[in-house]
Structure 1
């Protein structure tokens, strides 16, 4: 219980620090959303001071108030779930923008991350168990793809599979002409079809890292004394590989997977931009280019919560996977 409370306390402090940075970082950037909105209105005629005050109240960026008062007001709105109005997607609220784009990113990046992790762990386990096999010799090729920039790999796949052979669509999240959003097989099939190529890009570029890390940990674990003891007892090789070797070798990868899973919400901005995918990464890019404080803060908060939540979950999961951690707790 003491271990659990200490962990929760640590993450509460980390969340407060992240919220504080989330408040100040956009305000240190040049420009502000009020001036952006006024410049758009000024194209149709002069803007009165009353209009400026009304826009500041609407966007929740009262520059006349002291910074500490803005900070307290920001924390209060965060606790109530009020993130303000988006400038980039005006007049939509930040909550509506996040709610509209977040499922796309979780569906694409989340599934691709899980697939690459599971595939990398299984292949790395086999490569470490059978050193010198063709699978082990394949690792340098997979790690080469990890060093390739996302946008370059995405463009290559888009050229061959989308343009030359026309196996997959070039952009979008679903077929807007023949399907409508809903829980039916036509829409789900269209989403899977449009998301296959972006997901393939993520899997190809990330599976090599998981595979290499798991392979190296398997090689290190197989030299431990308890593996030799298990072999001396006459246990089956499959049981030694999975129960004794892989269970201990996978521990560092689990921590890395938690971080990757937390950053799923951030999305792969470059991948989403290349494929014109309607995810939260594209929304974040649009918010930064428009100096949209409210939307940036809302997206950063969701990213922070996802990263902290994933790490807390893995810290607690460690107590189940590794008995040594449970003993120290």
Structure 2
């Protein structure tokens, strides 16, 4: 009972409060954009040569406002928005009308999950392992070499690295495709040819995310380890004759991993940074490309749907890490 009242309940309250505030901001911010999606739709229809008398145009505008959730006052729109959200309905997309937003998200989400989950976990594991040993054995030559490489790659913007890889490995040396998630006209079936094709198309965007991610974690872990290895318990272990590799693995790196675990949960928000830009560069059919199209076309519903999904994923991952944190740090206790 103490666990529920003093540990679980406060975190659940904060969790739902963050989701409520975040989704409210998602509703409010797009309505400050200078574009009106309903008028844009009418202008598109008229640009195609279709004639509409004033009465038909007014009815069309009212129908579109109802479909897009823009009918009535801001408060009425807000209530309707929450009703739709609780049903998992974000309405139709503007620029791919009348396809529902949830359908577009379901089509793009597996691509982003496959790309992001793989690269995030691999970069986190490799970066922390390399950074941990490089921080403890700071006088080793290989550690200094990795540090020099990190100083070159780490400050490099995602899009510069992605463009460099694209030019080098897809244009000058055409080893990998220039873009996309699969061959044009290809039918996705579960066989060896499909798997190889998907891996070839995903390799360059994954590599650009991996290289940056590994050295971000590498530098962060190295700094934490260099701080931890000066603690008294490390000196005591060294004085006790324990092998340096054992001290690094079982004592130093294990303690230095605690802030990195929290960072792992926060890194899932990459859809708004490196993943978005990388998917744009490689025309990868994930949520990043979909989000870019939503911003570019002023697609309120699609923008709100993708942003809401990101809020839910990030807040849920942080909650899970927070609840599991006592398993990683024995100093933390449920009170």
Please, what TM-score do these two structures have when normalized by structure 1?
Answer: 0.94
Is 1:55 matched up with 2:59? Answer: no
Is 1:77 matched up with 2:84? Answer: yes
CA contact (8 A) 2:134 2:140 kept: yes
CA contact (8 A) 2:209 2:274 kept: no
Q: 1:318 to 1:324 in 2, by over 3 A?
A: same
Deviations 1:37-73 (A, max 9, x none): 11111122333211111222222221xx111111111
- The offset of 1:190, in angstroms, is 1.2
Could you say what the CA RMSD is over the residues aligned between the two structures, in angstroms? 1.6
- Partner of residue 268 from structure 1, selected from 264, 270, 275: 275
Deviates more, 1:1-10 or 1:52-61: 52-61
Is 1:34 matched up with 2:43? Answer: no
Distance 1:67 1:165 in 2: 54
CA contact (8 A) 1:109 1:267 kept: no
- Partner of residue 21 from structure 2, selected from 17, 20, 25: 17
CA contact (8 A) 2:271 2:287 kept: no
SS in 2 for 1:13: helix
Is 1:128 matched up with 2:138? Answer: no
SS in 1 for 2:176: coil
Distance 2:78 2:175 in 1: 51
- Partner of residue 208 from structure 2, selected from 189, 195, 201: 201
Distance 1:83 1:265 in 2: 20
In structure 1, stretches of 5+ residues that fail to align are: none
Deviates more, 1:53-62 or 1:117-126: 53-62
Deviates more, 1:126-135 or 1:292-301: 126-135
Is 1:295 matched up with 2:295? Answer: no
> What's 1:150 paired with?
158
Is 1:176 matched up with 2:184? Answer: yes
CA contact (8 A) 1:168 1:197 kept: yes
What is the number of equivalent residue pairs in this alignment? 325
CA contact (8 A) 1:172 1:275 kept: yes
Distance 1:228 1:238 in 2: 14
* Structure 1 runs (4+) greater than 4 angstroms displaced: 264-267
Please, what TM-score do these two structures have when normalized by structure 2?
Answer: 0.92
- The offset of 1:262, in angstroms, is 4.0
Is 1:140 matched up with 2:144? Answer: no
Deviates more, 1:16-25 or 1:129-138: 129-138
> What's 2:172 paired with?
164
Deviations 1:85-105 (A, max 9, x none): 001222211000000011111
CA contact (8 A) 1:263 1:306 kept: no
Distance 2:45 2:192 in 1: 44
Distance 2:148 2:309 in 1: 36
- Partner of residue 118 from structure 2, selected from 111, 126, 141: 111
